[in-house]
Structure formats: structure tokens, C-alpha cells
A and B are shown apart, each in its own frame.
Chain A
Amino acid sequence: GNSVTQMEGPVTLSEEAFLTINCTYTATGYPSLFWYVQYPGEGLQLLLKATKADDKGSNKGFEATYRKETTSFHLEKGSVQVSDSAVYFCALSKETSGSRLTFGEGTQLTVNP
């Protein structure tokens, strides 16, 4: 079946540090890939997505590239801010599964000033 594996957390960084959160997936065919973010006390929000191999999703300074050869979709940001502190979820969706999302376990990011 489909599955998503994220790097173990939590991750603690200083402001302006470089961020990488690893995500790999297992799925047949060509899933769509997503990063969702959950800020404290808020619901899940779509951060970025990529729907085919080699696509790069980007938003708010975050980027992730769909790498089919390594089945990966790592999240990166060049300079994190305190306001980026949140839980980040990698997810995949397949049209053949009715577009339901399969999530990874989430990575808690804390950015200190």
C-alpha cells in the first residue's frame, strides 16, 4: 500500500538557519506529493505541492522537488524564522484512491530567536 516516511523529530534550529526535513514515499504509479503545515492551535494548511516528477513546489520561501528516482520530496528553506515553528506533514495522494491523503507522522520544528 501507499506510505510516507518522514525524518524523526523534533527539529530545533536557530533563526536564519537552513532547514531540511526529509520525506520519502512508497506508492505505485505517479502520486501527487504535498507538504502540509500545522501551526499551534490551528488546522492543517497546504504549504506546497507537486503533481509530477521533477516538479518543484514552492511557497513562503519553502521548496520541495518531486524526485521519482529516489522516491523523495524533501522540504527545504534557506533561512527559517521564529514564525515557521510548527508541525510539518508530508503526504501523498493518488487519483485512483479517490484523492485521499496518506500522511507521514509529522516533524515538529522549533525555531529559536
Chain B
Amino acid sequence: EAGVAQSPRYKIIEKRQSVAFWCNPISGHATLYWYQQILGQGPKLLIQFQNNGVVDDSQLPKDRFSAERLKGVDSTLKIQPAKLEDSAVYLCASSLDSGGYNEQFFGPGTRLTVL
């Protein structure tokens, strides 16, 4: 079974530029998560989708971050404009569902460096 795919793996941009990350979850997984992992810290949830609807985006900086999950499959996370403090690894995870506990499977992440 294929795992969670993410691209690109690495991205370097200058502040005030925009950037987008892509995630393809495991086939059949209804729930998709985006986490931000700053160096030396644990991952922090940015947004959670159930199919193509948003379940939780309370920690998403909506003035600069946006995410969508069209057709309930792939998802993109965008930052516009980027700030220095956005340098982090962006992790995508998926699970069968969000009810009870369903194991979350993580992708390899996209490492963003903002100069």
C-alpha cells in the first residue's frame, strides 16, 4: 500500500514570496491533516479535513495560510506572503476516519526555508 506522498521535499524562498505544498493521502482515507514542525519542537496541527470539509483550522494563521482539499482527495497548503518564522517542516498525515482513534500515517514532509 502506497504511503502519504508530499511534494516538494525541500523549498527555499525569500520572505514575502508565496509557496505551495501538495499532499496525496493514502487511498480511501477520509481525514487529512497538515502539521507544522518547527526545528526542535513537536508538530503542531494547522488544519484538519474530513473528506473535503474543514473540521478544525483554529491554529491556521488565516491571514497568510490557506488550504484546500478538492474532491476529498489531494490537498494543497499555501503560504502567501511567507515570513521568516514560517521556516519549518510541513507534514501531511491521513487516517481512515476521525471517529474513535484511527492511526494517522505521516508523509515525509516538506522542509521550507524562508530567507
Q: Tell me the A residues contacting B by CB distance below 8 Å.
A: 4, 32, 42-46, 49, 51, 89, 91, 93, 95, 97-106
- Give the CA-CA distance A89 to B91 in the complex, in Å: 14
Q: Are B101 and A106 in contact (CB under 8 A)?
A: no
- Give the CA-CA distance A45 to B108 in the complex, in Å: 10
Q: Are A51 and B108 in contact (CB under 8 A)?
A: no
Given known contacts A93-B101, A98-B55, is B109 in contact with A43 (CB within 8 Å)?
yes
Chain B interface, number of residues (Cβ within 8 angstroms): 29
- Give the CA-CA distance A103 to B89 in the complex, in Å: 15
- Give the CA-CA distance A51 to B3 in the complex, in Å: 24
Given known contacts A95-B100, A98-B98, A99-B99, is B91 in contact with A104 (CB within 8 Å)?
no
- Give the CA-CA distance A42 to B3 in the complex, in Å: 12
Given known contacts A46-B103, A98-B48, A98-B55, is B42 in contact with A103 (CB within 8 Å)?
yes
Shortest Cβ gap from A48 to chain B (Å)? 11
